[in-house]
């Protein structure tokens, strides 16, 4: 039976930042935002995927005790909302559930990725995600069991359908199943990680689904960092004609309302501003670091400041993430360090307001050499490892998060010293090619100038030829192709999975192709030991790319 529509239905899109496993804290966030939504006149508030449990929960889903805690908390939130006068509000929230239709071979009930609707003190509806992604960073097919039923419901005469993230990415999914359901809106809750240039893909996808169901799509996405993933939020509502009816901020918690009227028109809060690509990538790296620190209890960071562009950009990101006063920059000059590099490191620390200390490594290096008498690469690596020991000593003694400053080009080619400059608990620019590092450094300085601030990164750190300064006159180009060429080959080899024949067909010369492939393939073991860092490209090292360490294939 179709009810007569009320004059309007107001949605609150609650884009929140929750923590994996912290069900108690996440419950408070849900209650807080739900109560605020009610006070703002919303009839229904929509939270992202797995909000109650955090996302992704990986194998926590397999623990029955964890699922029981989530179930109990959902019921408790519903009761608390009613007891506080918010029982009329419909609350759409993601969590982990338990399937009663499927069991493992051992007879154990299986977990589900579930959407709940809370109302009037109870859980009144549930929906289990049908399509479980098993590519890139996702392992949901291994963890969850899929649902098989659609969900629709009416609120004040408005008919709503529901989906969870991957459900709308697959053709012939819930949108197609609900094509004839006469929906007024399709609501999808999401945990979609950030990737450069992903915004337009999401929008185009939702327009396609809106056309399928002949109604607007309400897309609510998670925001925040979780280990090596960054969720950018950017929630929106889009019409079947492709008009963005509502849009929330990226990289921040946000809640805005969108009101659907009985005549099919709608009104919304002011649309959030759109960012350019450089700002998005920079803010993704900062948010990843900020949340890794906050959710793991770190108040400050320590890193080596060499005067080079990589450590400069990481230090600037760290200052933006936790405040310059919580950044410890350690200059560790050797006999090969130039005066310019020392000056650049000191200027950077002053610009961002960081603690700055100088720990010369030459006396320690001399002591090692008196016993070991190393030469060549071994001697160069010794310097890097001494610096790694110093950074970790500061980390341990002051309770600071040690930051690795390597970029994606270096990680790809193994151009870092394991247990040396690769030490640390987090690597903020791990997924940025070297050319991208320069680009973001220039963007950050320009942003500072536009806002009347001191540019954090010394110009000399940006323009001087990169060097590890581990031997007299050393430059990166002694061992690697020029970065413009190197990064182009790396992008094709790694992100596009082009083999040797493909790379030659791309127009790269044979010597460069063979050099880059050899370096990348030989460095897989190093990358397995490299710290976590935020994923910002379509294919990052780690969950995205899983190649064997022992690998004889060279084509």
End-to-end CA distance of the chain: 63
Q: Which CATH number characterizes residue 166's domain? A: 3.60.110.10
Cα distances (Å, whole numbers) of residue 107 to 101, 141, 143, 342, 544? 11, 18, 15, 64, 32
Distance CA 337, CA 440 (A): 25
Q: How confident is the model at residue 352 (pLDDT cuts 50, 70, 90)?
A: very high
Domains: count for the chain: 2
pLDDT given at position 541: 87
Residue 533 within a domain: no
Task: Give alpha helix (H) positions in 171-308.
Answer: 174-177, 199-213, 277-296
DSSP string, 78-112: HHHHHHTT-TTSEEEEEEEEEEEEEE-TTSPEEEE
DSSP string, 136-153: TT--HHHH--------EE
Written in H, E and C, the secondary structure of 231-247 is EEECCEEECCCCCEEEE
Distance CA 477, CA 466 (A): 8
The annotation places the binding site for L-glutamine at 135, 192, 198
Distance CA 328, CA 306 (A): 13
447-487: per-residue pLDDT in tens? 999 999 999 999 999 998 776 655 566 566 667 889 999 99
Distance CA 335, CA 344 (A): 17
Q: List % helix, strand, coil for the chain (3-state, nearest 5).
A: 40, 20, 40
Check whether residue 258 and residue 288 sit in a common domain.
no
The annotation places the binding site for deamido-NAD(+) at 381, 410, 526
| Stretch (H or E) spanning 298 | none
Q: Coil, strand, or helix at residue 381?
A: helix
6-65: per-residue pLDDT in tens? 999 999 999 999 999 999 999 999 999 999 999 999 999 999 999 999 999 999 999 999
Check whether residue 231 and residue 317 sit in a common domain.
no
Residue 544 within a domain: no
Range of the structural domain that residue 244 is part of: 9-269
Check whether residue 38 and residue 128 sit in a common domain.
yes
Check whether residue 363 and residue 319 sit in a common domain.
yes
Q: Is the pLDDT of residue 513 over 60?
A: yes
The closest of 507, 484, 506 to 433, measured between CA atoms, is 484
The annotation places the binding site at 135, 192, 198, 304-311, 381, 405, 410, 526
| Cβ contact 193:230 at 8 Å | yes
| Catalytic sites, residue numbers | 49, 129, 165
Residue 28 within a domain: yes
pLDDT given at position 222: 97
358-400: per-residue pLDDT in tens? 999 999 999 999 999 888 889 889 999 999 999 999 999 999 9
Rg of the chain (C-alpha set): 26
Q: At what angle do helices 510-522 and 483-490 cross, to 10 degrees?
A: 70
Length of the chain as a residue count: 555
Q: How many CB atoms lie within 10 A of CB 157?
A: 14
Entry pTM? 0.93
Check whether residue 39 and residue 175 sit in a common domain.
yes
Check whether residue 147 and residue 239 sit in a common domain.
yes
């Amino acid at each position: 039976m179709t009810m007569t529509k009320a004059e309007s239905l107001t949605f609150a899109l609650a884009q929140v930042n929750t923590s994996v496993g912290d069900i108690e804290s996440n419950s408070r966030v849900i209650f807080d935002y739900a109560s605020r939504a009610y006070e703002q006149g919303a009839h229904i508030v929509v939270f992202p995927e797995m909000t109650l449990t955090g996302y992704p929960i990986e194998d926590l889903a397999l623990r029955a005790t964890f699922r029981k805690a989530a179930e109990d908390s959902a019921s408790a939130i519903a009761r608390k909302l009613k007891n506080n006068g918010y029982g009329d509000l419909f609350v759409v929230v993601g969590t982990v559930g338990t399937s009663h239709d499927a069991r493992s071979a051992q007879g154990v009930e299986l977990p589900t990725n579930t959407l709940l609707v809370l109302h009037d003190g109870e859980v009144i509806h549930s929906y289990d995600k049908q399509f479980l992604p098993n590519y890139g960073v996702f392992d949901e097919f291994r963890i969850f069991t899929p649902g098989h039923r659609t969900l629709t419901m009416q609120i004040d005469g408005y008919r709503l359908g529901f989906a969870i993230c991957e459900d709308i990415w697959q053709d012939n999914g819930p949108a197609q199943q609900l094509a004839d359901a006469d929906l007024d809106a399709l609501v999808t809750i999401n945990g979609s990680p950030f990737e450069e240039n992903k915004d337009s893909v999401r929008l185009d996808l939702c327009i396609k689904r809106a056309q399928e169901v002949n109604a607007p799509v309400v897309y609510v996405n998670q925001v925040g960092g979780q280990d090596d993933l960054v969720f950018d939020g950017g929630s929106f509502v889009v019409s079947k004609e492709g008009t963005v009816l509502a849009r929330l901020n990226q990289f921040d918690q946000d809640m805005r309302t969108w009101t659907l009227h009985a005549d099919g028109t709608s009104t919304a809060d002011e649309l959030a501003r759109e960012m350019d690509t450089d700002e998005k990538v920079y803010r993704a790296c900062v948010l990843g670091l900020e949340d890794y620190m906050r959710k793991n209890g770190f108040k400050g960071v320590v890193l080596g400041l060499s005067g080079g562009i990589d450590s400069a950009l990481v230090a600037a990101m760290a200052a933006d993430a936790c405040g310059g006063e919580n950044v410890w920059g350690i200059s560790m000059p050797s006999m090969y360090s130039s005066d310019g590099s020392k000056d650049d490191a000191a200027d950077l620390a002053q610009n961002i307001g960081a603690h700055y200390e100088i720990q010369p490594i030459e006396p320690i290096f001399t002591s090692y050499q008196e016993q070991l008498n190393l030469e060549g690469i071994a001697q160069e690596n010794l310097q890097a490892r001494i610096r790694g020991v110093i950074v970790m000593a500061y980390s341990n003694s002051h309770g600071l998060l040690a930051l690795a400053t390597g970029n994606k080009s270096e990680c790809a080619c193994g151009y870092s010293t394991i247990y040396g400059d690769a030490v640390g608990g987090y690597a903020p620019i791990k997924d940025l090619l070297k050319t991208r590092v320069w680009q973001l450094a220039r963007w950050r300085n320009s942003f500072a100038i536009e806002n009347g601030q001191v540019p954090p990164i010394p110009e000399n750190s940006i323009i001087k030829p990169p060097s590890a300064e581990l031997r007299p006159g050393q430059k990166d180009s002694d061992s690697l192709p020029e970065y413009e060429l190197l990064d182009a080959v790396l992008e094709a080899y790694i992100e596009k999975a082009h083999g040797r024949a493909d790379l030659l067909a791309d127009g790269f010369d044979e010597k460069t192709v063979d050099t880059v492939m050899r370096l990348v393939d030989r460095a897989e073991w190093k990358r397995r030991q490299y710290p976590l860092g935020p994923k910002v490209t379509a294919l990052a090292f780690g969950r995205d790319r899983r190649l064997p360490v022992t690998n004889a294939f060279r084509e």
